Amino acid sequence: MLAPLHDSLALGTPILWRSVHRLPEHARFHHAVHIQAGMACETCHGPVWTMPRTEKVRTLSMGWCLGCHRNPEAQRHPAAAAFDRDRHGGGADPDGCRPGGAGAPRLRHSGVEIPPLTRCSVCHR
């Protein structure tokens, strides 16, 4: 398994590798927002630590994205507590304007519209 690494080092050439998880250009994805919302890597990538070679365990189709975006709370990982915004105690809430952000009810109350996570422009420009 390590032969390509040895070759790369000896020849001074980059390792040839193939993406297993790759969305088409027209779809937008950002890891940070998902991790901060408490999604675990394995929710989307499966138990990669058991895979000698990484395999795709989710379709990464639009339907799959939407399935979670309709009800993301159901997918929150228990370890999400580690990322709890409350932990930072009373400071500015960077996620205040997100649908699930702490400031969302306040914004809605003031009549500020927060686009739902299922709106096309969330993932497409």
Q: How far apart are CA 125 and CA 18, in angstroms?
A: 26
3 state SS of 24: coil
29 binds ligand HEC (CB under 6 A): yes
Q: Do 104 and 73 touch, CB atoms closer than 8 A?
A: no
125 binds ligand HEC (CB under 6 A): no
CB of 83 to ligand HEC, least distance (A): 11
66 binds ligand HEC (CB under 6 A): yes
80 binds ligand HEC (CB under 6 A): no
Q: Where are the alpha helices (DSSP H) in the chain?
A: 3-11, 31-36, 41-45, 62-69, 104-109, 120-123
**Closer residue to ligand HEC (CB): 6 or 125:** 125
Binding residue for ligand HEC, selected from 14, 99, 107, 125, defined by CB under 6 A: 99
CB of 92 to ligand HEC, least distance (A): 15
Q: Do 99 and 114 touch, CB atoms closer than 8 A?
A: yes
Q: Do 45 and 57 touch, CB atoms closer than 8 A?
A: yes
- Tokens (6 digits) for 23: 């969305």
Q: Which residues of the shown chain bind ligand HEC in the complex (CB under 6 A)?
A: 19-24, 27-31, 33-35, 37, 39, 41, 43-45, 60-62, 65-66, 68-69, 72, 75, 95, 98-101, 117-118, 120, 122-124
